[in-house]
Amino acid sequence: MLGSPICQTAAMAPDAPSTPDTPIQGARARARAEVRAAILTTASEHLAEGGAASLSLRAVARDLGMVSSAVYRYFSSRDELLTALIIEAYDSLGEYAERAAAASVGAPPVTRWVDAALAVRAWALTHPYDYALLYGTPVPGYAAPDDTMLPGTRVSIALVGIVRDAVRDGTLALSSAPDDPTVGEGNRTSFDALRGELDLQVTDARLLDVLLAWTQLFGLLSFELFGQTRNFVADDELLFRDAAVAMARRIGLHER
């Protein structure tokens, strides 16, 4: 594979500089983007085969027909490559949820929540190894940098946006109590900060419901993907849908 286009492009990309906005510079940038994409694609395949802990830049380079030093021009370490895979996965998942939320504008709030939740599940079933990378066992020795934070919030912001729309439209049911005593005093300050970050002006009790619904969605999905519902759930999709409806109702989203 040493004579492959990928290898040739990798050798060409870092060569002599050119002046800005020249055709040569544009071709070089495209070539570099293509090689980077090929590295990520191959790394994803390795992720599926051996998991994140066994990811190796040298092994990725070998499968691409590149010398390992060429791969290091694109990713300086295994952790940098892992971070790129995580960001790519978060962005892909976030796009799924955002499209579902946008497509359901005007529908009943419960329907919107359930549609978005099912979109998250559809993505996870199609990308199980990416899901495991994001929500599975932490990779030993790896600490996700701040670069992953913004992409990581896209899916939650899409879900919270449905609740925010219901607040704005006046279709969110009023909380039965202005302040739930189960929200501990130690969390009041963090809830205030979270309310501001999410731009979600609801009571602590309602915010707690949103957090429960959000985390329950991923908890149930993890149970399904990691085999924890085997032998006691006949229809995982139906259970997931029923749970999403139940949690949407708990938040106070209306069905009409």
Nearest CA to 210 among 182, 248, 180, 240? 248
Tell whether 34 and 97 lie within a shared domain: no
Tell whether 239 and 155 lie within a shared domain: yes
Among the candidates 48, 76, 104, a domain finishes at 76
- Please say if the pLDDT value at position 256 is more than 90: no
CATH number of the domain to which 191 belongs: 1.10.357.10
Tell whether 45 and 165 lie within a shared domain: no
Among the candidates 18, 44, 76, a domain finishes at 76
- Residue 253: phi, psi to the nearest 5? -75, 135
- Provide the domain limits for residue 239: 85-251
Q: How confident is the model at residue 11 (pLDDT cuts 50, 70, 90)?
A: very low
Among the candidates 40, 58, 76, a domain finishes at 76
In a domain, 161, yes or no: yes
Tell whether 100 and 70 lie within a shared domain: no
Tell whether 109 and 188 lie within a shared domain: yes
In a domain, 256, yes or no: no
- What pTM, to 2 d.p., does this model score? 0.83
Q: What percent of the chain has pLDDT over 90?
A: 66
Tell whether 192 and 95 lie within a shared domain: yes
Tell whether 177 and 63 lie within a shared domain: no
Nearest CA to 61 among 6, 129, 133, 5? 6
pLDDT in tens, 12-40: 344 444 455 566 677 788 888 899 999 99
More confident residue, 13 or 126: 126
pLDDT in tens, 53-94: 888 999 999 999 999 888 999 999 999 999 999 999 999 999
What does the longest C-alpha to C-alpha distance in the chain come to? 70
